Amino acid sequence: MTTDPHALFDAWFAEAKAAEPNDPDAMALATADVEGRPSVRMVLLKRHDPRGFAFYSNSQSRKGGEITANPHAALVFHWKSLRRQVRVEGRIEPTGIAEADAYFATRSRDARLGAWASDQSRPLESRAVFEARYAKLVEDYDGKEVERPAYWWGYRVIPDRIEFWTDRPHRLHERRLFVRNPGSGSGAGADGWSESLLYP
């Protein structure tokens, strides 16, 4: 019982990367607006360490606006091939600029241009308009480096709760819950967490 939840996540994630046929790093991200109305979408985990779970997006998107208004989020990883899921809840903060720059540089050139072309979550007159906008950027940036847009950065979910769910026969599932101890900052090791079991 006293396992560090981040170490346990890394072990499960390594197994998922070996077993899942597509996108083992996919996670459902739930946010809510200032009135508490929720929305959820799939995003990709790009970094995990004891500080939390990081992903990247357009800060002017719907999710970006909700995160600004209500900086709390929940994540779910579902690895069907392993019959496991992980649930994460906590506050959400922007990553540093250097971290966002470093990740943006690893994206393909087309994906970097796509970040400039898309006014994410805003109305689009037609697909042709978007494709023309992208084609113009390809032309404009020919022979030039594609830098990170100022509105595109990373977010990190800093967990207060992490639950590990394992399928068991007859729906007698196993649920292990880790709750961050009061006063433990991000990056807390195993001693910064309390573990318990939940009825399925």
Q: What is the CA radius of gyration of the chain?
A: 19
Catalytic sites, residue numbers: 171
- In terms of C-beta distances under 8 Å and separation of at least 24 residues, what long-range contacts does 144-151 make, across chains too? 146/109, 146/112, 146/113, 146/116, 147/104, 148/100, 148/101, 148/104, 148/105, 148/112, 148/115, 149/58, 149/115, 149/116, 151/58, 151/59, 151/60, 151/64
